[in-house]
Every structure is written in C-alpha cells, then in structure tokens.
Amino acid sequence: MVLTWLVAGCIKSGGLAVADQRPIAVVAVVDAANAADTADAPERFDAAVVDAARARGLVPTVHDHTELVATLTARRETTLRIAPLRAELPTGPILLVETRPAYYAEMAGQYRWIVGVTVTLVDEGDAAVLSERFDVPVFLRYHHQRETDAVDASRGVVARHVGELVDTWLGAGG
Amino acid sequence: MIVLLVTASLAADVGGYVRVMTRPDLEGGDGRLGYWNLYGRLLNEGPYAALELRQGLLSRKPGSLAPWTDVHARIEGGTVQGADAGNGSLAYLRLSHLYAQAGNLGLQDVTWRMGTLESNFGDLGLYDMRLAQVLTDTVGAQARYQTPGLELTLGLGDAGWTIKGADYNTVLSGGVTARVNVANHLEIGGGAQGWVEPMVLGNRFAPHVTPGVDYEDYLRGEVVEQFVRDNPGELINFPNPEPTDANSWKVVGYLGFGGFGPVKWNSLYVNYALLHPLGRVTETYDGQDVDVYIHDLTDERTQLNIGDELHLSLVEDKWDLVLGGLYGDYQDADNDLAPSDADRTFMSAIARTQVYLSPVVHLLVESSIAQETSHNGNTWRTHQDSVFASDDGVADTRGLEYGDAAERVTWQGKGGVVLNPLGPGIYTRPSLRILYGVQYSTQNNAFGNSFVETVDEYNDFGNVERHWHNVLALEAEAWF
C-alpha cells in the first residue's frame, strides 16, 4: 500500500499522464535546407521520441519514411501535411515530428546549429490537433558533422517537448 | 557597444559561449595554474564571454532555391566582473565579427559573405588553438562553395587595420581553402593566404627601411644614440627611410579521419608562415622622437606549428579519452643575439580522460608535459637568485639574456568532478566543474604573479623559490 502510494505520488509530481497502451503512429523527418527530399530522422532520434511516448503508456510505431516521402517532400508546411498523412495512416493518433537543421556559425571551437522543430499531435479524426514549434541550439565538435548529426544531438530536448505535448493531450482526455 | 548588447535581446537568434571561474590562489598567483595553453587550456585560461547575434533577413527554406540572407555580429572578450583584473569592463569587449551573407544568388551551393572573413579547418580543443585558419584578419568579400563532399573558399580584402592598427596602411590580403570529405570518415584540406603591402611614396605608415641600422642597436633601442655617437652633431642627417614593399604568406594543412572503432575523430593541423614585416619603432634622443623603420630587421621571421588531437570513445557513453600533441618551431633569421618569442621551439603532449559515473556526474583527469627552448640563450630563471647560477652573482647590465636557463620544462596534473546536465561527452556543455590542479616547472614561480623579483638588498618583500604550484577551481563553461 505504502509503495503504491509512493509510486502514485511520484507519477503525479512528475506530471506524467498515462495512457492505457494506446497505439500511436510516429513520423519523424528531417527537412534540410540543402536537400531536395525530406529524409528520415536518425535512429537515436526516433528512439528518444518513442521512449517519451512509451513512458506515458502509449504504444508508438515508427513509420518508415520511404512510404511517405513523396507526400512529405511535396508539402513542407505542417498544415499541408496533416490531411495527406491522415489519408496514409487512416486510424489512430499520429505524432509528427518535423526538424529543420540550419547551420549558424562556428563559435569558440564548436559548430553551432539550430534545429527548428515542430511537434504535432493529430488525434483520431481530423479536428483535434496539438502543435508546438521551438528551436534547439546544438553544438557539434567537428565540421564533417552536418544536418543528421545536428538533429541527432537535439533528441534529448525534443523528447522532453514531445513528452510535455503528450501529457497535455492525455490530460485533456486524448 | 551597449546598443549592440541591448540589440542582442531583440535579435532573431542569439548564441554564445561563456566560461567563468574562481581560482583562489594561496601561493600568490593570479588564479591560473601556468603561463599559457601549451600546458592545456584547462586551468590556464581566464574568463571569457562571446555573444553572437544573427538577424535573418530572408530565411532559408528547405527544398527551395530562393535567395536567403542574414547578418551576423559577435561581441566577445576575456573579462567578467569579479573574475579577473578587468572586472567585466566593456572596454575589454570587442566587435570581432560583423558580416552579411547570402546564398542562392545566381550560383547554387555558393554562400557570399561581405565583412569580416574567416576560414578554418577546426580547433585543437585541448589547447584552444586553431592552427589551420586563414583570412581571420581580413575584411572583404568571400565566396564559399559547399557540397557534402567538397568545400572551396576564396576570400579577398584588406588586413591593414588588423596588422597595423593605428599605423594603418592598406595590406591586400587573399586566401583560399579547399576541403574534401570522403564518406564522413576522411577529410583532407589545405589552404594559403598572402599579404601584400605595396610601397606608397609619402606615407609614413607604409613600409620603409632605415638604412644602416645594426640589429643590436635596434634591440637595445639605441639606433639614434649610436648614430649620434658615430656622427656627433649630425642628428639632423639621420638617414631618411627608403620606401619598399612588404609581403608575407601562410600555408595550412589538415587531415582528419575517424568514425571507426573507438576513434571518434583525429585531427592533424599544420601551418607554416612568413610573418608580416613590422613597420617602425620610435626612439627618443635628447628630447626628440625619431622613427626607425625596421622592415629589413623583421622580414625573416617564420613559424611552423603542428598539432594533433585524437578523440577516443573507449566505452561508449562511459569513458572517453582525448590525446593531444603540439609542436612549434619559430625562427627569426634576423636575430642571432637575444632570446625572443619569435625564436624558440616548443612541444607538448596532453591526455584528458573523462569517466561518466552517471549521465550527469563525470570524473575528469588531465595531464600535460611540455618543453620550451630558446634559440638565443637564457630567458627563464630557475632560481630566485639565478644571477648566481649564470653570472656568479655579477649582473651584466648590458646583457641581452635573462635568467639562467634556455629551457623550461613544465608538467601539469588536473582532476575533479564535472556536472554535465546535457549528458556524457568531453566537449558537451554546459559543464560545472570542481577541479584541482598542480604544476611543476623548472622555472621559478612559473605562473602569473606579483612577486618582487629583484635580489638586491632593498627588496623589502624577500624572494620566493617555488617550483610547485596548486590551484583549486570552481568553473562553469557553456555554449548556448
């Protein structure tokens, strides 16, 4: 009893709302300025997003970007991507994580990048959409580390934002 | 400057770098373990702050070939209130970078830049040195062609204000770099920069030569005095300066490889440069200032620098090791008389290891060993009474050497606890550090201090013989 009370208290104090093993589709992409096509996010980035969702009782499934590449490349704005995504993934909620890495400058021996991120949660149906847009500055040690490394380096901060967005959604009865 | 700082809060993007520390030094030092970064940047550098502002004017859109442009400005300097002698004064900050750049203007993959220029191949993190860089002294125009496998940079401009300061004269500067990347496992780069300061008749700041100057007289600041001694009453006939050109150059190289096994990356940098000749010195004789033009006395100074840094991940996210080495050979063919920073050899090796006790709590240990050798005789004091070791206690007031040793050997050991909120990584920041450092040097009191060094009988403070030096540091360092 005491243990249960402690665990429940911890969950409450951490602000985690918990879903009951609800499936959710995860689509995480990189929109690099110098690339013609939208690309998949790095594996560790996907894993961090999945972990954040899984910690809240969701059952995330990462969707292979290759089956969506034409849809996503043709539409670089979030609002234009939701309807075709829903058409490709007709059931269940969708977690769309879009990243836009951009080189900033070399500063005191590190290469500063800014990863612009938009996290969008599309509930079942078309109406309910939660979205948050933010920038994550990251610092890469070497010049050969480029867009993919920048997105990878942002994964910790992005996962935290994903968790907060999912909390908001679940807290509102999502 | 204040306007720029205020503007910082309004800029679209603000990035920066800070390091601040307190290092109480109970042995009379100024809080730095040793003299300079040859022994590793850790505990040998002071506070620093840099703020970079970027205002995007036309943002770059993914998948778009539309033009984009932005403006960058960087303010930086080495002082923080309460952490050093500058006490955070804005007078120690400078606007080091200011440029506008734009892309997709006619040529795809080319970024055009106007303002302060730079092109470098990376940084020796353990030493905080950039050996392979060009154009950092130049204001002008630069074009960079960049694809995933190839980067070409060409820059042209004027380096006169950087090189000559208030004695400004145009110094035409041009540089080029090229870098090839093979599958992100191998990088090869090279580049060069040249400086040309053409002769300008009638301009006292343009390069000139005062004929007939003896190098030893120049070193002693006695060129005019010697002339008058040789030509009594003829100061008015002191030789007129003769105009000339001044040229200099630098070549740089880079080899990087890694991304296999425990090798995260290895960076090897080299540069070789002929330094730009100096302009003039002013001597005062009998209340009269006389300029002596020293182009020909300073046009044979060369520098060779080689540095390497190997970053190993011994156990992924558990244990990292970085090894560094640095070698420098500076020659001044004009000077065979006196020790100087332009005529010396130095070498150093550093190892830093960081063990990640948890994602945020790390253990850091670093050690370095360095040797510095003067080419032109003694320049360091190994004892508080070194005059007895070099000259039997008889001071040579006309001597050009200093101290009793032409070689300095320095060992440093550092260790402590590091808190990294963003997780493992030797170069992950922010870092909050509690460090202890110890140095042994063959030089006496080999750290910044305010000791009274004279050994005469009127020294009221006495002399101190100390080869070991200890500091305890509380530090924070962050990129943001």
Categorize the per-residue pLDDT at B394 as very low, low, confident or very high, splitting at 50, 70 and 90. confident
The stretch B241-251 carries a mean pLDDT of 97
B-chain residues near A73 (CB < 8 A): 63
ipTM of this complex > 0.90? no
Statement: residue B389 has pLDDT above 80: no
Categorize the per-residue pLDDT at B90 as very low, low, confident or very high, splitting at 50, 70 and 90. very high
CB distance from A87 to chain B under 8 Å?
no
Mean pLDDT of chain B: 93
Distance CA B296, CA B303 (A): 18
Q: Given this model, what pLDDT does residue A126 score?
A: 62
Distance CA A109, CA B211 (A): 45
pLDDT-above-90 percentage for chain A: 55
Distance from CA of A173 to the nearest CA of B (A): 32
Q: Which of B62, B427, B479 sits opposite A107 (nearest CB)?
A: B479
Range in A64-73, B251-260, B301-310 the model is least confident about = A64-73
With CB atoms and an 8 Å threshold, state whether B48 touches A108: yes
DSSP state of B87: T
Q: Given this model, what pLDDT does residue A128 score?
A: 63
Nearest to B267 by CA among A101, A145, A152: A145
CA B25 to chain centre: 25
Structure-model confidence comparison of residues B453 and B177, the more confident one? B177
Chain A's closest residue to B48, CA to CA, is A108
The stretch B315-336 carries a mean pLDDT of 96
pLDDT tens digits, B247-305: 999 999 999 999 999 999 999 999 999 999 999 999 999 999 999 999 999 999 999 99
The stretch B52-58 carries a mean pLDDT of 93
Q: Given this model, what pLDDT does residue A3 score?
A: 40
Where do the structural domains in chain A lie, given as residue ranges? 2-171
CB distance from A133 to chain B under 8 Å?
no
Q: Is A165 helix (H, G, I), strand (E, B) or coil?
A: helix
Q: Given this model, what pLDDT does residue B7 score?
A: 54
For chain A, the C-alpha Rg in angstroms (whole number) is: 17
Q: Given this model, what pLDDT does residue A7 score?
A: 39
CB distance from A77 to chain B under 8 Å?
no
Q: Is B185 helix (H, G, I), strand (E, B) or coil?
A: coil
Q: Given this model, what pLDDT does residue B339 score?
A: 94
Distance CA A120, CA A99 (A): 12
The stretch B72-78 carries a mean pLDDT of 96
The stretch B370-392 carries a mean pLDDT of 88
Q: Which of A36, A76, A141 sits opposite B427 (nearest CB)?
A: A141
Instruction: Report the alpha-carbon angle B79-B84-B86, nearest 5.
Output: 55
Taking the CA atoms of residue B336, residue B339, residue B345 and residue B346 in that order, the dihedral angle to the nearest 10 degrees is 180
Categorize the per-residue pLDDT at B38 as very low, low, confident or very high, splitting at 50, 70 and 90. very high
Cβ pair B326, B309 in contact under 8 A: no
DSSP state of A36: S
CA A158 to chain centre: 6
Fold of A2-171: Double Stranded RNA Binding Domain (3.30.160)
Range in B59-68, B146-155, B200-209, B442-451 the model is least confident about = B59-68
* Interface mutation target, options A31, A34, A77, A154, chain B, most CBs of B under 10 Å: A34
Statement: residue A2 has pLDDT above 90: no
Categorize the per-residue pLDDT at A12 as very low, low, confident or very high, splitting at 50, 70 and 90. very low
Structure tokens at A58: 């969701």
Structure tokens at B218: 């120049």
Range in A8-12, B29-33, B386-390, B412-416 the model is least confident about = A8-12
Statement: residue A6 has pLDDT above 60: no
Mean pLDDT of chain A: 84
| A to B CB pairs, distance under 8 Å | 84
DSSP string, B150-175: EEEEEEEEE-HHHHHGGG----EEEE
Q: Given this model, what pLDDT does residue A84 score?
A: 86
